[in-house]
Chains A and B, each alone.
Chain A
Amino acid sequence: MTWASVAPAVSAAFLSSLVEAVEALTIVLSVATVRGWRPAGLGALAGLATLALIVLALGPLLDRVPLHALQLVIGVLLLLFGMRWLRKAILRAAGVVPLHDEALAFANGTAALREQARHRDARLDWLAGLASYKAMLLEGLEVVFVVIAVGAGRGLLVPASIGALAACALVAAAGFAVRRPLARVPENTLKFAVGVMLSAFGVFWTGEGLGVPWPGEDLAILGFAALFLIVALAAVRLVRPPAVKALP
């Protein structure tokens, strides 16, 4: 285990978890604002419990999968996941697609729950709890995937998990303190950085799965990240409409 492999894994897990935790927090806060903390908290806790069950059930299976097959599958999934994030972050940075706005997401979430309240008040606590549960489960699954993807196969599951848990704890503490969506988090910049890192991990793992002897071994990840960053920044310049000048 070297810093060249630990640092990218921990920072990728931390930054992607930060983004996912902010998105989950926005939905849980929407539920809490409209229906109170009980359905929001219960839904979130149920989501966390389901996530824990999934990890406990699937975790031991990872040890039984042959290493090259695991690297190949995770590498391809990382390429799909990371390059999807990077593509969207490029289009947002270029002004082609609107930036994700947590304040707007919060407003839309609360408006939708209030609209539901008008029609079926008796079931609303259950529906609100379900919204909180779904947000926690789906955003949490992304965190679990990233942790497994950057940590499995190289003995980095623990450092990657610590990075992810630190991000979730940070967002939960900040959200509990301000009781508002964390709209000031530079989400697109984080997604840009995470997209670059996950794409680099994806190329590395897929290559390892195919038996490619990367020059510099783990250090190659940093080289790939640099290449993805250069291409992504060039792409932002190429696709940015003339009127949009400032990067987010």
Chain B
Amino acid sequence: MKTLINIFRELTGLFIDDGLFALAIGVVVVLAAIVAAIAPAVPIAAGVVLLVGCLGVLLGNVTSG
């Protein structure tokens, strides 16, 4: 059981090791989805939010830590 829990923890760790960083990425994706939903006539806007948001999260996280 302990081994299974350890394996599950390591599997989660493949995607998340800094909770705030993962949360910030999630927020960017949600924002992009909201933009895609409210501005279907300009679908590229969601892409811009996604790309700029991800680059910003990366830069912000490494420079603030």
List 18 extra interface pairs beyond A77-B15, A86-B58, A227-B55, CB under 8 A.
A76-B25, A76-B29, A80-B15, A80-B16, A81-B15, A84-B22, A87-B58, A87-B61, A87-B62, A90-B58, A134-B6, A138-B10, A141-B14, A210-B33, A213-B43, A224-B51, A232-B58, A239-B63
Number of chain A interface residues as a range:
35 or more
Q: How far, in angstroms, from A203 to B17 measured CA to CA in the complex?
A: 20
**A-B pairs with beta carbons under 8 A, tally:** 104
Answer yes or no: A175 CB below 8 A from chain B CBs.
no
- The answer, among A80, A134, A138, A231, for a CB contact under 8 Å with B25, is A80
What B residues does A232 contact at CB under 8 A?
58
A134 touches B3 (CB 8 A): yes
| B residues in contact with A215, CB < 8 Å | 44
Out of A142, A212, A238, name the residue touching B44 (CB < 8 Å). Answer: A212
Interface string of A204-228 (1 = CB under 8 A from B): 0011001111110000000010011
Interface residues of B in 3-52 (CB under 8 A from A): 3, 6-7, 10-11, 14-18, 21-22, 25-26, 29, 32-33, 36, 40, 43-44, 46-47, 50-51
**A interface residue numbers (CB < 8 A to B):** 76-77, 79-81, 83-84, 86-88, 90-91, 94, 96, 130, 134, 137-138, 141-142, 145, 199, 202-203, 206-207, 210-215, 224, 227-228, 231-232, 234-235, 238-239
Measured CA separation A142–B10 after assembly (Å): 11
Task: Say which residue of A79, A91, A213, A235 sits within 8 Å of B29 (CB atoms).
Answer: A79
The listed residue (B7, B46, B63, B65) touching A138 by CB distance below 8 A is B7
Give the residue of B22, B43, B57 whose beta carbon is less than 8 angstroms from that of A211.
B43
**Residues of chain B lying within 8 A (CB to CB) of residue A141:** 11, 14
Instruction: Identify 7 residue pairs between A and B in the complex whose beta-carbon atoms are under 8 Å apart, listed by A's number.
Output: A76-B29, A91-B62, A130-B3, A138-B10, A142-B14, A206-B29, A212-B43
Return chain A residues, CB-CB under 8 Å to B10: 138
Residue contact A203 to B14, C-beta cutoff 8 Å: no
Q: Which B residues form the contact surface with A (CB < 8 A)?
A: 3, 6-7, 10-11, 14-18, 21-22, 25-26, 29, 32-33, 36, 40, 43-44, 46-47, 50-51, 54-55, 57-59, 61-63, 65
The answer to whether A235 touches B14, judged by C-beta atoms less than 8 angstroms apart, is no
Report which of B16, B17, B55 forms a contact with A231, defined as CB distance below 8 A.
B55
Task: Assess whether A214 is in contact with B47, with CB atoms less than 8 Å apart.
Answer: yes
Task: Give A77 Cβ to nearest chain B Cβ, in Å.
Answer: 6
Q: Check B51–A227 contact: CB distance below 8 A.
A: yes
